[in-house]
Structure 1
Amino acid sequence: MALWSGRFTEGADAFTQRFGASLPVDQKMYAQDIAGSKAHGAMLAAQGIIGEEDAAAIACGLDGILADIEAGALAFDVQESEDVHMAIEAELTARIGDAGARLHTGRSRNDQVATDMRLYAKQRATDLMAANVALREALIAQAEEHFDVILPGYTHLQHAQPVLFSHHLLAYVWMLTRDFERLAAARAAADRSPLGAAALAGTTYPLDRHATAAALGFAAPIPNSLDAVSDRDFLLDLIYACSVSCLHLSRLCEEIILWSTAEFGFITLSDAYSTGSSIMPQKKNPDFAELIRGKSGRVVGDLMALMMTLKSLPLAYNKDLQEDKEGAMDAADTLEDCYVCAAGMIATMTVHPEAMMAQAQKGYLAATDVADYLAKKGLPFRRAHEVVGRLVLRCEQQGCDLEDLALADFQAESDLFEADIASCLNLEAIVAARTTYGGTGHAAVREQLTEVKASLAADHTRL
């Protein structure tokens, strides 16, 4: 029987009951719904609104329902209950009688569902923060294990300058560090209690909203009842944080896919994170990296869907808001799975330093340092740039690299070149010379590692 059956002479038919039901989605929040109901029931008794015996029966009944759900002994039917809130209340009333029917005093499903979603968002944000930390640990471990490895750095996907492989990996660690902050901000945004706002205007019962907020671990109650039941900004924050992190994972996986090709050969993925072909026996495909890259579109779609749902809703609650849950849950679940998969993939991949160095020796990666050599001798950099451009052209015409040119070839373009130009053509020296803060030089990357590990340790304490 519907909660509003007194007003209606007919019930919903099977199709509209199914169409309007959110139970298949929101039943994931059974633990949050039970926690909110226990806090509400205890507060009602403390305020003298219901009796202590009723409150005790409610708490005991809810504990029994929670235990049965988690043991798989209790399942809900969409034809019987529209959502998890109705399902649990109906089950409670069936078990304990009128005491269960008193639980909803001073409460609406509007503030109830908002409370559940905020509790759920806080928990999922915390879960994602933990998975984020684990992925950063995997990247840092590979960066430390292969600290001295050099690979070509790219712009426009063209060889640009040599960099340390550890420096390259740490760029993703910093992206993920910012993602952690966005997830933490989403958790903080959800950390306010709507419980007690009722349908939209508050209630005439003497509820203690501060007590229920504290009991549920919220920082404070939301001060405006209209905002309390209609706000979903915290879900936008959560899905946005998930979307940005998925974009970062997509970028990382794109490079893993490229690096694992025969053309690059920089890494070999573990068999556990690869698949084969149904027709080509030789294939080893980076399917899981591709899936992470592909799933980013789903999560961004979840963000767009909720934004469009919210864009023109009048205050306060509207049934449209039932559509807030599936996308948020999908985004959080998808990102968590992607974090776990990426961490395993990174931790188990085999790095091939010789292949990286072989590529770093192609594409005139020393060109910028040769230009700097001339600039340090007084030639304006723009002229130095032009001189080195002519040297690169000479190399292309002769089919060689800069390090293959004789000193006479250099001096033919500028008499500022001396024998010490050879030191500007050594890749190890080129990398090591980048000592500025944030650069790719060994000393700078060691400093960066110290910072990133300190940030990681600090984030551990915030979980």
Structure 2
Amino acid sequence: MDASPRCDGRLEKGMSSLIDNRKSIDPFGRIGGKKSNDLIDRERYLEFNATIHQQIPMFVSVHQAWLLMLTQQGIVERPRAQAIMNELVRIDEHAVAEMIENWTPSAWEPMVQLEHYLTAKVGQIASDLNIARTIPPPFYRMGLLHPLLAIIEESILLLDTLLCQAELHDLTVMPGYTHFQHAQPMTYGHYLVGLFDPLARALCQIEAAYSTTNQFELGCGALSGTSFPVDRHYPAELLGFDGVVEHTNDAVAATDFLIDTLSALTNIFVPLSRVANDLDIWSTSEFGMVEIADEISNPSSMMPQKKNPAVFEFCRRTVASILGAYSEVVCGSHATQYGDVTEMRELSFAVKPRLIEATRQLRAFRAALDTMIVKKERMLELAATGFSTATELAAVLYREAHIPLRMAHGVVADAVRQAVKEGKTAQDITPEILTAIIREVTGQEVAMSRDQINAGLDPVRFVQAHRSEGGVAPEIVRGMIRKRRAVLAEFTERQALRTRRREDADAELACQVRALLNGSADFALTPPA
């Protein structure tokens, strides 16, 4: 079913008929017959028309599962259930078009309009669908499930890309930075593995948010349950939910699944944004360590030379969008009634767009990483000419010349200071310079060979020597990649199980619907295991 809002003649026809439709308002609760308002009606109609194509398929599935349960429990007689179900399975684009055409202010929400539509087809027995339930559940949660699955899938693909690129660059030596200054040499592969870990932890949080969200609330009544002998677990199984929100007021009041989702998104995009900032800087002419592929870059409408890595800017902007939604959900829910209130409806709508946006940006970031031109020679040049190996040179002085570590630190600091003052690089530090500084700082006469100094100043040897757990040595990086491949396989397996569960639930629901319509004796004997 097309999810896009309708902008054809039905919209204009519906808008022009608002006043005529308002004259036939059906009594709906205590305020039935209340005079309508043109301005509010027009706003409601526009909202209705923009959302009905997305919502009706979801409403139909829930109605089908709930009706199957009511029939199984003997609450609704089979002939009545068959009549209602027969209309539910016929709902398609033409039916939705009819709902739009017959829109009235009293049924301005798609859910209520669907009830009016069914009532027109089968009579008042259509209201059997409302037994023991309030309208909103479980649609707030259901609307987030597919976007959550999508971002889990995209996160897995991004993690795989990180490991693939890390494998390609386990020997690509580059300067590591702290406080935006050269710190110690590392490899580009080691850097990318360092992004894998926080994203993997955040993905665990997204999985947990999916589990928290994928709980069935329906059957809670308004907040106190129901006197009807309903089975809440049967429709939950048919709709692919992992379980039931047991407490009936918790079912309509909970906001933790929204906050969990936005918190997990925040933990994905904060480290991702920081890496985006690094890559953005490294792609400048001044650094020249990476280059964004043409197909990922944005041109300038004025400056012909421009090749803008805007993908990183969009990534950083997404953080603000997520944090804005997080603030909206928390601030919008903390000072309201703990129950079913309008804020719940509005707050749930703040989350889905952020999930969709986040998924899109993860996909773009993955494409940027996968096609990025990594300039290995430039990275090595910067690592060699800068002073990021200074820590190892101090370690060489400690090990080879037996100079106390803090004094060795001072010797190297003086050597760097002198080189910078004279406009020299790390490679210009000679045995003579170092011997003179050692004599001045320690009063000792220590002769350092060229090979000893090279052992401390060569960034490649630095990388190879740092073999401690989690370090930058290529064999250590490769070992970390192997471990994370196993983690990624577990993520992939769990995602396959989630996807298959939803597919199996869809198939079982369709099977049970056919069994009811065909009068099968197998229908509703036992709920699915």
> Is the TM value for this pair above 0.5?
yes
The match for 1:101 among 127, 144, 166 is: 127
Per-residue CA distance 1:115-145 (angstroms, 9 max, x = gap): 1222232332221110101112222222222
1:141-199 Cα shifts (integer Å, max 9, x gaps): 22222331111100011111110110111111222211211110101111321110011
Give the aligned partner of residue 215 of structure 2.
192
SS of residue paired to 2:88: helix
> Following TM superposition, by how much is the alpha carbon of 1:437 offset from its aligned partner in structure 2, in angstroms?
1.2
Residue equivalent to 2:481? 449
1:291 Cα shift? 1.6
> Is the contact made by 1:266 and 1:355 (CA closer than 8 Å) also made in structure 2?
yes
User: Partner amino acid for 1:134?
Assistant: L
Would you say 1:182 and 2:205 are equivalent positions? yes
Partner residue in 1 for 2:448: 418
Q: Is the 8 A contact 2:292 2:373 kept in 1?
A: yes
**Residue 434 (structure 1) aligned to one of 466, 469, 491:** 466
Query: CA separation of 1:19/1:330 partners in 2, compared to 1, >3 Å: closer, same or farther?
Result: same
Which of 230, 235, 252 is the matching residue for 2:253? Answer: 230
Code of the residue aligned with 1:68 in structure 2: it is: E
SS at match of 1:462: helix
- 1:235 CA displacement: 1.1
SS state at 1:161 partner: strand
> Matched residue of 2:278: which SS?
helix
How far does residue 25 in structure 1 lie from its aligned partner after superposition? 5.2
Q: Distance in 2 between matches of 1:30 and 1:438?
A: 51
2:332 to 309, 320, 324: 309
1:349 and 1:96, CA in 2 relative to 1: closer, same or farther beyond 3 A? farther
Q: Which residue does the alignment assign to 2:6?
A: none
Cα separation, 1, equivalents of 2:114 and 2:278: 48
- Structure 2: gaps (5+ residues): 1-24, 439-444, 496-529
Instruction: Look up the equivalent residue of 1:10 and give its one-letter code.
Output: K
The residue number in structure 1 matching 2:433 is 409
Mapped to 1, the partners of 2:343 and 2:410 lie a distance apart of 62
Partner of 1:153, secondary structure, is: strand
Q: What is the aligned counterpart of 2:413 among 389, 393, 405?
A: 389
List per-residue Cα deviations over 1:255-312 (Å, max 9, x = no partner): 2211221111122212221111111111111122212221221111011101111111
CA shift in 2, pair 1:338/1:412, >3 Å: same
Distance 1:72 1:202 in 2: 32
Say if 1:114 and 1:371 are closer, same or farther in 2 by CA, change over 3 A. farther
Structure 1 59/409 Cα, relative in aligned 2: closer, same or farther at 3 Å? Answer: same
Question: Is 2:188 the partner of 1:162?
Answer: no
**CA positional deviation for 1:201:** 1.0
Q: Which of these residues, 110, 115, 118, is aligned with residue 84 of structure 1?
A: 110
Letter in 1 for 2:54: K
Say if 2:99 and 2:113, in contact at 8 Å, map to a contact too.
no
Shift of 1:375: 2.6
Q: Is the 8 A contact 1:160 1:363 kept in 2?
A: no
Q: CA 1:363–1:298 in structure 2 vs 1: closer, same or farther (change >3 Å)?
A: same
Supply the AA of the counterpart residue of 1:61: E
Could you say what the CA RMSD is over the residues aligned between the two structures, in angstroms? 2.3
Q: Name the CA shift for 1:19/1:379 in 2 (closer, same or farther; >3 Å).
A: farther
**Structure 2: distance between partners of 1:239 and 1:75:** 34
What's the TM-score, normalizing by structure 2? Answer: 0.81
1:320 aligns with 2:343: yes
Deviates more, 1:18-27 or 1:419-428: 18-27
How far the C-alpha of 1:75 sits from its partner, in A, is: 6.8
Q: Residue 191 of structure 1 contacts residue 219 of structure 1 at CA under 8 Å; is this kept in 2?
A: yes
Q: Which residue of 2 aligns with 1:458?
A: 490
Larger radius of gyration: 2
Query: TM-score when scaled to structure 1?
Result: 0.92
The structure-2 alpha-carbon separation of the partners of 1:3 and 1:277, relative to structure 1 and needing over 3 Å to count, comes to farther
Pick from 341, 351, 365: which aligns with 2:364? 341
Instruction: Note the C-alpha offset of 1:74.
Output: 6.5
> Equivalent residue for 2:195?
172
In structure 2, the CA distance between the partners of 1:64 and 1:255, relative to structure 1 (3 Å rule), is farther
> Are residues 1:268 and 2:291 paired?
yes
Output the CA distance in 2 between the equivalents of 1:36 and 1:190. 16
Q: Distance in 2 between matches of 1:258 and 1:75?
A: 53
- Identical-residue share of aligned pairs (%): 27
State the SS of the aligned residue for 2:90.
helix
Report if the CA contact (8 A) 2:259-2:326 is conserved. yes
Check whether the contact 1:27–1:83 (CA below 8 A) recurs between aligned residues: no
In structure 1, C-alpha distance between the alignment counterparts of 2:204 and 2:100, rounded to whole Å: 37
Which residue does 2:61 correspond to in 1? 35
Task: Report what 2:74 is aligned to.
Answer: 48
**CA gap 1:397/1:86 in 2 versus in 1, 3 angstroms:** same
Distance 1:450 1:278 in 2: 45
Aligned to 1:400: 424
Q: For residues 174 and 392 of structure 2, what CA distance do their matches in structure 1 show?
A: 16
The letter for the 2-side match of 1:173 is F
